[in-house]
Each structure stands twice: as structure tokens, then as C-alpha cells.
């Protein structure tokens, strides 16, 4: 708690002992005036050590997830798609968005999650809020914007589950400005880790990176797509974990890389040189390369019987973050993320309905042993 003065540390200790203590009582115990205690309370709130009224203390290891929440419409073709004509499909409606999927997976794995996003003041927005709340996710900072539509994404899939076309109405996320996110400052400051996706405007991403440089939380970012990764600044210092695929890395770096492990490692190294502390770079069946200042390692995909690929990348991110928060071991965290991604492909839902710590533990046998590691 190096960001706290001695008086703030003493006050925080009293609040932990008795969150219901009055300001005058604490002032008497500390030998301070009540106004001085009130000022310290304000600063503790701004720094994320307490969560406003009632002196609520932040949950240890809490994650703040910031970014897209959308209505997903999914259409699975009954036969190979033919351009220029009508195609018979099986349609369904659900909830999606990179950040929303990550948030729901994290909550299912047992993490405390605060979700920060924007929806319209419409039935779709209310449905999203209700669904997240039933999953135990804090939606106090799910902002309803009356003049906007809740975001929608339509995925048109080949019969085997591969994405053929994606159609998106994401204009509402342009309203997620630094000024809007300032309303969520206590939740961000209280988080152990903040995850954001590149659905946010470039100015908001830059502001969050700057907050990380001066703040207490770790910052993880997902590129989302090749156009959206270009919103990231040239200087990636302040980004603790960067998730992206090889195409997105090529778009950001404005350079091409061989589609093999060597090419992935070169791209990841270039992103480290741009300032990112660690990079998790994927490329389909090639799996993932995990890189930091100490070098790079490879994580293979986990064999699966896929039904639908939608949400697999988001599940991988959530699984990685969850294990990383508990262990700090990034390579093993990405292995867990790869397993959770494969499990997700075996369900038609963007978030596997059985996702839980027990479900993951029951499937750990599907991970290939690390070289030199005995199978138990």
C-alpha cells in the first residue's frame, strides 16, 4: 500500500476492524479532526481501497471488465453457404460481446467481477443487465444511454461452426469516452486486474493505459479484430497482458510474419519491444505463443469435438486471467485458458453452460503433459 500515507493506512486499518464506525469515533481514535477523517475517506475511495458509502472494502482479487456487451444473433447454415441467394439456417439469440463473455466466464470460474459497459435504454439493454446480475456480476456501471441502441452482432456460420460472416452494430461503444468511464473510477481503482477490449474508443484505451501507469491494478487488453487493434497507441508500456492473434499483430505492427511458431514468436517479441509486459498471441490450430521479457514459449491447442467456435477466444482469455490471478504463472495460465477455449467449442453457447471450477478440474486430463512432467 505504498500509495497510502501513514494516516490513510491507520484509517483503513480501523475501517477493516469496524466498517460501521462513525467518522467522529475514528477521528477520536486517531487523534484527528472529523473533517480530516472525511478527507482521508474521500482519498481512500478515489484510490480504490474502499467503495464509497458504508466503507465497503473491495473483494480481494476482483476483476473489472470494460468493453462490449451485445445481443448475439447466430445463424448456422444447414448446408454450405452460397453467396447471392437465400440460405436455410438455424437461428438463435443470446448474449455476447468480448468483454461480456469474458466477464461471465470469470464469474462462472469464481472470480468477483465488476462490469463496465454501455447499453441502450431498451429491452435488449435491460435483458443484458438482468442476465449479468443473475450470474453474480456487478452491473452498477452498466450505463444506460437513452438515445442509443444496444449493440448487436450477427454471426453467420458454416455448417461445421466456422464463422463465414460477422455483422455488427457497435456504434454505442463510441460513447464510452474517458468522461463516461470516470463514473466507474472507484470500481477500476478497487480492481486487482482490469480487462478491456478494443471496442472502446482509442482515447479511452489511451486513458486506461495511462491510469495503469499511475495506478494499482494490472491491465489486460484484447485486440478484438484487425481494424480495432489499430486503436492501441504506439507505446504499449502499461499493458501488462496483451491478447491478440497473428493477423491482429501484423495489422498493429504493419508487418507480415510467417504463419508458423517462429513467425508468431517474432511478432510477439516485436510487441514486447513496443512496451507490452507480456503477450499471448494465437493462430488457430498452431495454438498460442506466450512471451515476455524473459523469452517465449508455445502452448498447443487442446483437442476438441467442436460444435461452435463462437466465444472460444473469450473463454481462453477468461481462463488465462483467472488462473494467472491465483498463481502468477502465465504459461500454465494460458494452458488452462486453452483447455477452457476447447471446452467452450463443444457447446452451442458462447459461454459453456457447465463452466465452473469443478468442470475445469474434471477435464484437466485433456491437457498434454509438459515435457518432463509425469501424467498423474
> Where is the domain boundary, 55, 74, 96?
55
pLDDT of residue 371: 57
Reported confidence tier of residue 373, pLDDT bands at 50, 70, 90: very low
Q: Contact 14/29 with Cβ under 8 angstroms?
A: yes
Share of the chain above pLDDT 90, in %: 72
Under 8 Å between Cβ of 252 and 287: no
- Whether the predicted pLDDT of 277 surpasses 50: yes
Answer yes or no: do 18 and 74 share one domain: no
pLDDT at 60: 61
**What is the structure's pLDDT at 375?**
33
The CATH number of the domain holding residue 339 is 3.40.1190.20
Neighbours of 18 (CB within 10 A): 12
Do 30 and 146 share a domain, yes or no? no
Instruction: Report yes or no on 172 lying in a domain.
Output: yes
Rounded to whole angstroms, how far apart are CA atoms 240 and 237? 8
Q: Which residue matches cell numbers 466503507? A: 55
Q: By three-state DSSP, how is residue 335 classified?
A: helix
Q: How confident is the model at residue 159 (pLDDT cuts 50, 70, 90)?
A: very high
Q: Which residue range is the domain that position 34 belongs to?
A: 6-55
**In this predicted model, what pLDDT tens digit does every residue of 12-35 receive, in sequence order?**
888 776 665 678 878 888 889 888
pLDDT reading at 344 higher than 90: yes
22 and 128 share a domain?
Answer: no
pLDDT average, residue stretch 309-328: 94
Residues 6+ apart with CB under 8 A from 264: 246, 257, 281, 283, 286, 289
Considering the domain architecture, whether residues 113 and 158 belong to the same structural domain is answered as yes
**Whole-number pLDDT of residue 290:** 98
Specify if 289 maps to a domain: no
Cβ neighbours of residue 193 closer than 8 Å, sequence gap 6 or more:
63, 64, 217, 218, 219, 220, 240, 321, 325
Complete edge-to-edge strand list for the sheet that includes strand 193-197: 138-145, 113-120, 63-66, 193-197, 218-222, 241-245, 278-282, 288-292, 295-299
Is 40 domain-assigned?
yes
What pLDDT is attached to residue 161? 79
Please report the pLDDT score of residue 18 as a whole number. Answer: 67
31 contacts 83 by C-beta, under 8 angstroms: no
Question: Looking at residue 55, what is its pLDDT?
Answer: 54
Q: What is the mean pLDDT of residues 35-44?
A: 82
Q: What is the mean pLDDT of residues 102-111?
A: 97
Per-residue pLDDT, averaged over 247-257, amounts to 98
Encode pLDDT of 221-232 as tens digits.
999 999 999 999
Beta bridge partners of 89: 77
Count structural domains, the chain: 2
Amino acid at each position: 500500500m505504498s500509495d497510502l500515507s501513514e494516516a490513510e493506512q491507520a484509517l483503513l486499518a480501523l475501517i477493516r476492524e469496524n466498517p460501521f464506525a462513525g467518522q467522529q469515533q475514528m477521528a477520536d481514535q486517531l487523534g484527528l479532526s472529523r473533517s480530516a477523517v472525511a478527507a482521508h475517506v474521500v482519498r481512500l475511495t478515489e484510490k480504490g481501497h474502499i467503495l464509497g458509502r458504508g466503507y465497503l472494502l473491495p473483494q480481494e482479487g476482483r476483476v473489472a471488465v470494460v468493453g462490449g456487451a451485445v445481443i448475439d444473433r447466430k445463424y448456422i447454415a444447414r448446408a454450405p453457404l452460397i453467396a447471392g441467394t437465400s440460405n436455410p439456417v438455424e437461428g438463435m439469440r443470446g448474449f455476447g460481446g468480448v468483454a461480456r463473455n469474458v466477464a461471465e466466464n470469470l464469474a462462472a470460474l469464481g472470480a468477483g467481477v465488476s462490469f463496465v459497459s454501455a447499453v441502450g435504454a431498451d429491452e435488449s439493454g435491460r435483458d443484458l443487465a438482468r442476465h449479468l446480475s443473475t450470474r453474480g456480476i456487478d452491473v452498477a456501471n452498466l450505463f444506460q444511454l437513452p438515445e442509443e441502441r444496444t449493440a448487436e452482432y450477427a454471426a453467420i456460420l458454416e455448417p461445421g461452426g466456422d464463422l463465414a460472416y460477422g455483422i455488427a452494430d457497435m456504434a454505442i461503444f463510441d460513447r464510452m469516452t474517458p468522461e463516461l468511464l470516470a463514473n466507474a473510477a472507484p470500481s477500476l481503482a478497487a480492481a486487482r486486474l482490469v480487462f478491456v477490449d478494443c471496442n472502446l474508443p482509442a482515447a479511452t484505451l489511451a486513458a486506461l493505459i495511462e491510469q495503469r501507469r499511475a495506478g494499482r491494478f494490472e491491465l489486460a487488453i484484447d485486440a478484438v479484430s484487425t481494424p480495432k487493434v489499430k486503436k492501441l497507441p504506439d507505446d504499449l508500456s502499461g499493458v501488462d497482458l496483451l491478447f491478440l492473434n497473428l493477423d491482429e499483430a501484423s495489422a498493429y505492427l504493419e508487418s507480415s510474419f510467417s504463419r508458423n511458431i517462429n513467425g508468431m514468436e517474432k511478432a510477439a517479441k516485436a510487441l514486447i519491444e513496443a512496451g507490452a509486459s507480456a503477450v499471448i498471441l494465437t493462430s488457430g490450430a498452431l495454438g498460442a505463443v506466450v512471451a515476455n521479457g524473459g523469452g517465449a514459449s508455445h502452448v498447443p491447442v487442446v483437442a476438441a469435438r467442436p460444435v461452435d467456435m463462437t466465444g472460444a477466444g473469450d473463454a481462453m482469455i477468461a481462463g488465462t486471467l483467472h488462473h494467472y490471478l491465483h498463481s502468477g504463472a502465465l504459461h500454465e495460465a494460458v494452458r488452462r485458458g486453452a483447455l477452457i477455449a476447447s471446452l467452450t467449442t463443444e457447446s452451442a453457447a458462447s459461454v459453456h453452460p457447465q463452466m465452473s471450477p469443478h468442470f475445469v478440474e474434471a477435464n484437466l486430463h485433456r491437457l498434454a503433459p509438459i515435457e518432463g512432467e509425469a501424467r498423474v
